[in-house]
Amino acid sequence: MLEKYFFEILVGLIFLISLLSTLIFFLAKRIQQQSSFAKESLKNTREKEKFILESLDIISKALIQEQCEVSEGCIRIRMLVDKSKMLDSSKKDYEVFFNMYQELKNFKTHEKRNELSKQEIMKEDIDRFKVEEKYQAKFLEAVQILHADVKELL
């Protein structure tokens, strides 16, 4: 009986082997693409994190050297610390960035600030200076800690 169906079985096995070979080839190709994509994604993540840390380093230096307004530095630091995967945004020392930001977030910036009258700008500036004064000591301590943490990671 085997002799009777030998060629049919042989053709069937050859077809099955070629089908499995094709499947293995495409699966290997897909794994290679996913591996390449994962490497590229990891590289992009590392570059983004490095950019965030370098930005935090520059901002913290500017604040320490009093080259930047405290409120502007706070807003920028808060956003970057929140985006960083290497810094723990829930760290007790960083609370001041988030607390101060909560009081600053409603102030007008950029085009919206330019649309305000001079009196409204003056009022916002006075209110902003009060917030800066309220947090300044804790904020500058936190900036020193952040600067040290960032230096350690760079």
Q: Are 153 and 86 in contact (CB under 8 A)?
A: yes
Give the per-residue pLDDT at 102.
Answer: 93
Question: Domain for residue 1, yes or no?
Answer: no
For residue 131, give its domain range: 6-153
Per-residue pLDDT tens digits for 13-71: 999 999 999 999 999 999 999 999 999 999 999 999 999 999 999 999 999 999 989 99
**Residue 90 reports pLDDT greater than 90:** no
The average pLDDT across 125-131 equals: 90
Residue 139 lies in a domain: yes
For residue 140, being part of any structural domain is answered with yes
Predicted confidence (pLDDT) at residue 81 exceeds the cutoff of 80: yes
- Domain count of the fold of the chain: 1
Residue 1 in this model has a pLDDT that exceeds 70:
no
Q: Cβ of 78: how many Cβ atoms within 10 Å? A: 21
